[in-house]
Amino acid sequence: MMDSRAIIPVVFAVSLAGLALSTALTAPGPAWASAGPGGLPPEVARHFTPEEIARGRAYASGRYGIFAAATALRLAILLVLVLTPASAALRSLAVRAVPAYPSLAVAVYVALLVALFEILMLPLGYYAGFLREHAYGLSTQTAAGWLLDRAKAALLSLALAVPAGVLLSLLWRRYPGRWLLPAWGLGGAAIVLLVALAPVVIDPLFNTIRPLQRPDLRERVLAVAARAGIPVEQVYETDASRRTRKGNAYFTGLGHTKRIVLYDTLIADSSPEEVELVLAHEIGHWKHAHIWKGIGLSILGLGILLWCGARTLEGAARRSAFHLAGPADIAGLPLFLLVLLVLNLAGLPIQNAISRHFERQADRASLELTGDPAAFVRAEVQLARSNLADPAPPAPIVWLLYTHPPVAERIRMAEEFARSAPPPQKSG
């Protein structure tokens, strides 16, 4: 068995913190208290047909089940590796392949581990990402295209996981009992580097990204950015339509790689006013420095995860049931990953509550910058329809899984803004 003394108190503390923080940041709104027909929030009943509501709920409930199944499968794979000699056998196989080069043997072990996960997760991924998306009319991708994307993602995982595993193993061997601080520092630097490079190195592997082609939309962006006092030089669009009919936009990058990216599906399916609202929302993330705040919180969380993993490995190395030669044995990596996964799951309420808080700030900023709550509501309704969102998901599901406020809450916020806020002072 795992050394529960090293894990349970931290999991309990993280869970309690998540409950407290998410409760503080997600106060129940009046729409949940004053439901319309059929127990629905009145905003939902006004803007969505019964067919749209039923279809959104069916699609979303399936996604909740897929999340649970994928989590259970990952846990099961790690538990088998941890509680049987499987990980030690995999390590021995890697050592026999390159006995004279310990670091290369670690690289082989990590590559085998990544390949094992990819193979075992592939059927569920194919069902969730291809078959089900086609069944709901959301995917525009061929099976060959989906498999090519999956292969690219697997190669990217290898390119990131192998050096990380080799470096972690090296720290375990060279600095026994003292590897935690350098691992945390290197991990934090890697987070910043990946965020900075993702828009120019990783994103182009999967999509064609180019400057926004619509001059009228670009002028709207510059006008909104000027009102926000933020220097936005360029907005990009991506060819999402070759994979999906869903609409979306995101803010990414750091420094010279910082950018707003719009799905071409969003541009095609929305009015200029609605696109402007989405752009203003992303500028709101920029204005509130959400990427830097997210990076800081990620580095803090990484430190907690590494500390818990280190304590668990130290305890496991003293127990023969884990089949480890010592705390620096690379065969302990699945146990280390299991601790990280369990703690990450326990911390989901914290992570998602913070994310929803950031999204509310960006929503508020978009309304203040545009002064157009009617377009905000239209944009939210259009996005919910195109993405088959559940307009009124169960509150416990929102608390646990939702990174964004439900559409009913966002519509209600815009309607309250329309009643209370003065129009913005637009620059001439």
**What phi and psi values does residue 211 have, to the nearest 5 degrees?**
-60, 145
Q: What is the C-alpha to C-alpha distance for residues 305 and 330, in angstroms, rounded to an integer?
A: 18
pLDDT tens for each residue of 140-156 = 999 999 999 999 999 99
How many domains is the chain partitioned into structurally? 1
In terms of Cβ atoms closer than 10 Å to its own Cβ (0-12, 13-18, 19+), residue 30 is exposed
Determine contact, residues 400/349, Cβ cutoff 8 Å.
Answer: yes
Owner of token pair 């302990």: 332
Q: What is the C-alpha to C-alpha distance for residues 194 and 201, in angstroms, rounded to an integer?
A: 9
Q: What is the C-alpha to C-alpha distance for residues 207 and 209, in angstroms, rounded to an integer?
A: 6
Percent of the chain topping pLDDT 90: 70
Q: How confident is the model at residue 420 (pLDDT cuts 50, 70, 90)?
A: confident
User: What percentage of the chain's residues is helix, strand, coil (to nearest 5)?
Assistant: 75, 5, 20
Per the structure block, which two tokens stand in for 144? 């060959």
Q: pLDDT at position 323, please?
A: 84
CA angle, corner 17, sides to 15 and 22, nearest 5?
95
pLDDT greater than 90 at residue 131? yes
pLDDT tens for each residue of 361-410 = 999 999 999 999 999 999 999 999 999 999 989 999 999 999 999 999 99
- Collapse the DSSP code of 262 into the 3-class scheme (helix H, G, I; strand E, B; otherwise coil) and give the result: strand
Indicate the pairing of strand 249-252 with strand 259-263.
Answer: antiparallel
Quote the radius of gyration of the chain (alpha carbons, Å). Answer: 24
Q: What is the C-alpha to C-alpha distance for residues 208 and 201, in angstroms, rounded to an integer?
A: 12
E-strand stretches of 99-225:
209-211
Q: What is the largest CA-CA distance in the chain?
A: 74
Per the structure block, which two tokens stand in for 14? 């993280």
Q: What is the C-alpha to C-alpha distance for residues 157 and 151, in angstroms, rounded to an integer?
A: 10
In whole angstroms, how far apart are CA 81 and each of 76, 239, 337?
9, 40, 11
Owner of token pair 């390949």: 115
**What phi and psi values does residue 175 have, to the nearest 5 degrees?**
-130, 65
405 Cβ neighbours under 8 A, 6+ residues apart: 356, 359, 360, 363, 398, 413
Q: pLDDT at position 423, please?
A: 58
Q: pLDDT at position 228, please?
A: 82
Between these two residues, 127 and 270, which has the higher pLDDT value? 127
Buried b or exposed e, range 67-104, using 16+ CB within 10 angstroms? eeeeeeebeebbeebbbeebbbebbeebbeeeeeebee
Number of Cβ within a 10 Å radius of residue 284: 26
Number of Cβ within a 10 Å radius of residue 8: 12
Residue closest to 348 by CA, chosen among 415, 285, 414, 400: 400
Q: pLDDT at position 331, please?
A: 92
- Collapse the DSSP code of 100 into the 3-class scheme (helix H, G, I; strand E, B; otherwise coil) and give the result: coil
pLDDT tens for each residue of 263-292 = 999 999 889 899 889 989 999 998 899 999
pLDDT greater than 80 at residue 199? yes
Determine contact, residues 335/313, Cβ cutoff 8 Å.
Answer: yes
Determine contact, residues 158/122, Cβ cutoff 8 Å.
Answer: no
Determine contact, residues 407/41, Cβ cutoff 8 Å.
Answer: no
Residue closest to 258 by CA, chosen among 203, 218, 302, 316: 203
**What phi and psi values does residue 212 have, to the nearest 5 degrees?**
-55, 130
pTM of the model: 0.84
Q: pLDDT at position 421, please?
A: 67
Q: Which domain holds residue 388?
A: 1-428
| Sheet strand arrangement including 235-238 | 209-211, 235-238, 259-263, 249-252
